[in-house]
């Protein structure tokens, strides 16, 4: 009888664990941004403003990469847009696309109330050594699209000093898989 109860308990334990669909693994602070690489690996990213460094962590919260973030003079990080390894070139270095912004304060005290303070955006793509792969002045948005078996990078650029002015889309071809 004890053997039957023991076997029934083991069977119940195994069936509950095998059929379980969701398993809580923990929480990640909202200070981190999450990215999924092309190979499906999930990474967490945290920016240290004081040191101007980006820390990229594995899912188990171990450090994967640490990158010095080159910002143009007077600019601040706006947003990290994309983290990858083989999206922008075929080497094995991590690549990061990010936007930064510089707020320009008007020179005159005579600024009208309806006049907006211009902002200067730059979209950058660098590798983990800090080498620049692309810099687009006047842009802060991008999208990677797949079409007809080819990958392209669309960079949305503002033309003028305000958001309601003309825009253009710059199209870059991306290398095919490694």
Nearest to 85 by CA among 133, 37, 142: 37
- Position 124 pLDDT exceeds 90: yes
- List pLDDT tens digits, range 35-44: 898 888 999 9
**Coil/strand/helix, residue 3:** helix
Q: How many domains are there within the chain? A: 1
- Integer CA distances (angstroms), 35 to 57, 68, 80, in order: 10, 19, 10
Query: Is 100 a member of any domain?
Result: yes
Query: Is 13 a member of any domain?
Result: no
Strand partners, 158: 167
Residue written as tokens 């922008």?
88
pTM of the shown model: 0.75
Using alpha carbons only, give the angle 152, 99, 118 rounded to the nearest 5 degrees: 120
Q: What's the mean pLDDT in 146-170?
A: 81
Q: Residue 134 belongs to a domain with what CATH number?
A: 2.40.128
Query: Is 17 a member of any domain?
Result: no
The region of weakest confidence among 66-70, 81-85, 107-111, 171-175 is: 107-111
Q: Which domain holds residue 112?
A: 26-173
Determine what percent of the chain is predicted with pLDDT higher than 70: 75
Structure-block tokens of residue 140: 């802060």
Q: What is the pLDDT of residue 176?
A: 80
Query: Is 148 a member of any domain?
Result: yes
- List pLDDT tens digits, range 71-84: 888 899 999 999 99
CA distance 156 to 174: 16
Identify the residue with better confidence: 114 or 52: 52
Query: Is 85 a member of any domain?
Result: yes
Query: Is 11 a member of any domain?
Result: no
Query: Is 70 a member of any domain?
Result: yes
């Amino acid at each position: 009888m004890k053997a039957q109860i023991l076997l029934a308990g083991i069977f119940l334990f195994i069936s509950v664990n095998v059929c379980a669909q969701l398993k809580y693994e923990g929480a990640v602070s909202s200070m981190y941004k999450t990215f999924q690489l092309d190979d499906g690996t999930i990474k967490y990213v945290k920016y240290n403003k004081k040191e101007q460094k980006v820390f990229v962590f594995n899912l188990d919260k171990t450090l994967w990469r640490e990158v010095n973030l080159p910002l143009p003079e007077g600019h601040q990080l706006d947003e990290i847009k994309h983290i990858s390894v083989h999206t922008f070139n075929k080497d094995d270095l991590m690549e990061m696309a990010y936007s930064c912004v510089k707020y320009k304060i008007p020179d005159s005290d005579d600024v009208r109330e309806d006049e907006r303070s211009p902002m200067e955006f730059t979209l950058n793509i660098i590798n983990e050594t800090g080498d620049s792969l692309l810099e687009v002045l006047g842009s802060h948005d991008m999208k990677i699209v797949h079409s007809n078996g080819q990958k392209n990078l669309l960079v949305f650029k503002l033309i003028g000093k305000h958001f309601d002015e003309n825009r253009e889309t710059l199209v870059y071809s991306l290398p095919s898989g490694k």
